[in-house]
Structure 1
Amino acid sequence: MSDSVIEQTRQIHSDLEKLVSTMVDDLLAEKKAASHKEMLLRDHRMNGYLEMMQSSSKKLLNLYEDQHGSRSKELDAITGAKVFSEFYTRLNATRDYHRKFPGASLRLEDGIPVPKLNSNFTGEENYCKYVDMHDLYKRYTNMHVFEKCNYFSFLGKFHKLHTIKKDKKIGNRQYHDFVKDLFKYMYEFFQKRHPLAVASDFKAQIDAEFEQKWKAKEIEGWEQDVIVEEKDEDGIDYPPIELSN
């Protein structure tokens, strides 16, 4: 890209217009009876285009803010008394560039690249039509906290963690890691299935609802007891204390 701040600004505006045009063309080219896979891949492409637009817009904003004064100096140079000498200086610089790189093409002729899919879909997921939780299932069946079951039964009850007695969960590192990885998979699956949704906003909403219910002791399976972790003044963590109402 040119060292000229004004040229960079013009080029980014041009890129943003081409991005909008590319997105519109992509949407108009969609089949009326598009398959699940085609619609999902389209959403991922749209998300990729939006990320490009966001990145370009940030660069554009920085150029307009002109924190180092480069834009102001350049505007003064092309509008002042030395406007013609500045023009020929830039013209000569452009000619020198093309003498050095005679095969260089105009960037305006370049198209917008198709965004690469960041998500890796497994064969079992079939583009997020199904979940692929076989690894989690193996860990599930090897934990004494849970009852043995087949994979299909597991899919119907893996989320019912409130049915596990608290004394089996508290202080159980294996269980803690399992739940943590279970959440990680479900969160990432949601992102892959709904690339245009802001997953962090949904999580923040759920966290807020949880905190409200937790304070009101309305979380299923935890209505009666509260677990408190105490820390002494010397900084030592002591085992959780179960307080009954």
Structure 2
Amino acid sequence: MDNVLEKQRSAHEDIERLEQAIVDQYMEDAKTHREKLYNEHVVDKFLTRIADKSEYLHELYQDKDGLRQSEMEALSGSTEFSEFYERLKVIKEHHRKYPNETVEPAEMEFIYLSQKKEENDYEELEKKFSGEESTGRYLDLNELHSMYINLKGVKKLDYLQYLSEFDDFVTVYPKSIKTTEEYKHYLNQLFQYLYGFFRRSKPLYDIAALEEEALPEFNQQWEQGKVPGWDVDTSNQGLFCPACQKQFSKQTVFDAHLTAKKHIKAQKKLEEQKDAPAEGTVENIVGGKDDKRKAIAWRERLIIKYAEALADFREETKSNVERKQALTDKERILEQEQEVVEFVDQDSDDEDDEKIYNPLKLPLGWDGKPIPYWLYKLHGLGVEYPCEICGNYVYMGRKAFDKHFQEWRHAQGMRSLGIPNTRQFHEITKIDDVLALYQKQKKEGSSAEAKADVVEEYEDAEGNVYNKKTYEDLKRQGIL
């Protein structure tokens, strides 16, 4: 029946069934990590539906159009019997018109969901995570680490150090780069990943409460100029230009820049933003739409709070990375001699069914289990490739060895030798060999240093590749 009271009754019934479904979901004995995570995602969907139904009920109870009040008066007034028989007539006509219409009980939806869980192999859940994340057990910051390495002026950290210090915005990230577009892009990507990992690995965690708790403290510290990494000299607060986002040290310099074309253009743009502010932006949330620095600092504070809440995941990730990278000689010999790897069945009834038997310390695959030994041998992951230029760092496997020539460690070693890291020096790992080749190139007049503008390649945000000279010219003109 299409009336307000029936809609309210139906919504209340749906909410009660969803609450019972949540109870049934928690009553199931989930033993493995994957089963527990699956249950949390299902409960999260139920809670979202309850919130939507409750909002719908709230609108019905408000009765802005007065339909509910008129129905109540019709059912409780002098015409209550005529109203009753009129509605009964509508029901009979509907069943007379559709005599064989099948009706599925509302509880069947949850019965199907339970059966689906028994038959499903959790493929949809595993698709939400990368292989490195191992169904929500570990963080996967490899891509963000690459973005961090490409930032100018930051400390060069390896992946393990980055896992420990990526949220240290005081010492790791210089204040001079915090207003650059590259840093803002990196910060947004880091924030979005941590937020998304929260939603995937801890769907029932109340992120909104965490943010609401952190906001008052942040606003108070910002007003006092005591936000770590953004300390403000209160004596020069009047010399800050919100349009240009610059802090000036002298009054004369501040007054002189007010007549510059760049400041006038920035001031006009700032006034336009004030007239039409974008709703839901980070600037409006923290109350700092006139100060972009505050929005960046607030995003840093959120990342710190997320990292604190994900401390257990971070420690597990660090342990996993150390286990895969730091193998002793004894373990490598054992890996070469042992060719059979036994696994513990994840679906067994044992309490320790999530522990995997991995005596060879093989790398983990996309499913969180050690890769087969034949695959380990095929890719040569047990073969060591030392590089003297990288400080005698040892790379495991040919793939990692080939990749390291473009990474920061090798580039820094070449830079310390005063030699450009060009393709002519790839595959060379001895310092004497690199120096000899460089001297030979200088004698032959084909020094890579003289051709650095042509040999070195740069890539823009759209994937276009230019040589160094062309890239710098385009960037200087503002085309890139």
Residue 53 of structure 1: which of 45, 50, 54 is its match? 50
Q: What residue number does 2:15 align with?
A: 16
Three-state SS of the structure 2 residue aligned to 1:162 is coil
CA contact (8 A) 2:132 2:140 kept: yes
Q: What residue number does 1:111 align with?
A: 109
The one-letter amino acid paired with 2:8 is: T
Q: What residue number does 2:438 align with?
A: none
Q: Structure 1, residues 52-102: CA drift from partner, whole Å, max 9, x if none?
A: 112212222222222222122222223333333323322222233234443
1:68 correspondence with 2:62 = no
**Greater relative CO (CA pairs within 8 A, separation 6+):** 1
**Greater displacement, 192-201 / 22-31:** 192-201
1:199 correspondence with 2:207 = yes
Q: What residue number does 1:97 align with?
A: 94
**Greater displacement, 214-223 / 141-150:** 214-223
Find the aligned partners of 1:141 and 1:128 in 2 and give their Cα distance. Answer: 25
Change (3 A) 1:225 1:37: farther
1:120 correspondence with 2:128 = yes
Equivalent pairs counted in the alignment come to 235
Q: What residue number does 2:24 align with?
A: 25
Find the aligned partners of 1:239 and 1:8 in 2 and give their Cα distance. Answer: 54
Find the aligned partners of 2:229 and 2:102 in 1 and give their Cα distance. Answer: 68
The one-letter amino acid paired with 1:70 is: L
**Greater displacement, 46-55 / 148-157:** 148-157
1:241 correspondence with 2:252 = no
Find the aligned partners of 2:73 and 2:225 in 1 and give their Cα distance. Answer: 66
Find the aligned partners of 1:148 and 1:103 in 2 and give their Cα distance. Answer: 69
Q: In percent, how many aligned pairs have the same letter?
A: 29
Query: What's the CA shift for 1:126?
Result: 2.3
Query: What's the CA shift for 1:105?
Result: 0.6
CA contact (8 A) 1:137 1:154 kept: yes
TM-score, normalised to structure 2, is: 0.43
Q: Which runs of 4+ in 1 moved over 6 A?
A: none
1:230 correspondence with 2:228 = no
RMSD: 3.1
Query: What's the CA shift for 1:217?
Result: 5.0
Change (3 A) 1:12 1:224: closer
Q: What residue number does 2:329 align with?
A: none
Find the aligned partners of 1:163 and 1:139 in 2 and give their Cα distance. Answer: 18
CA contact (8 A) 1:145 1:164 kept: no
Q: What residue number does 1:135 align with?
A: 143
Query: What's the CA shift for 1:177?
Result: 1.7
Structure 1 segments unaligned to the other structure (5+ residues)? 232-236
CA contact (8 A) 2:155 2:173 kept: no
Find the aligned partners of 2:143 and 2:93 in 1 and give their Cα distance. Answer: 60
Find the aligned partners of 1:186 and 1:193 in 2 and give their Cα distance. Answer: 10
Q: Structure 1, residues 114-169: CA drift from partner, whole Å, max 9, x if none?
A: 5x98x933332223211122221221222223344443332222222322464531
The one-letter amino acid paired with 1:23 is: I
Q: What residue number does 1:83 align with?
A: 80
CA contact (8 A) 1:225 1:243 kept: no
1:169 correspondence with 2:168 = no
CA contact (8 A) 1:217 1:224 kept: yes
The one-letter amino acid paired with 2:241 is: E
The one-letter amino acid paired with 1:199 is: I
Larger Rg belongs to: 2
Three-state SS of the structure 1 residue aligned to 2:241 is coil
Residue 42 of structure 1: which of 34, 39, 43 is its match? 39
Q: Structure 1, residues 41-60: CA drift from partner, whole Å, max 9, x if none?
A: 22222222122112212222
Change (3 A) 1:88 1:215: closer
1:153 correspondence with 2:152 = no
The one-letter amino acid paired with 2:131 is: G
**Greater displacement, 220-229 / 10-19:** 220-229
Structure 2 segments unaligned to the other structure (5+ residues)? 114-123, 251-480
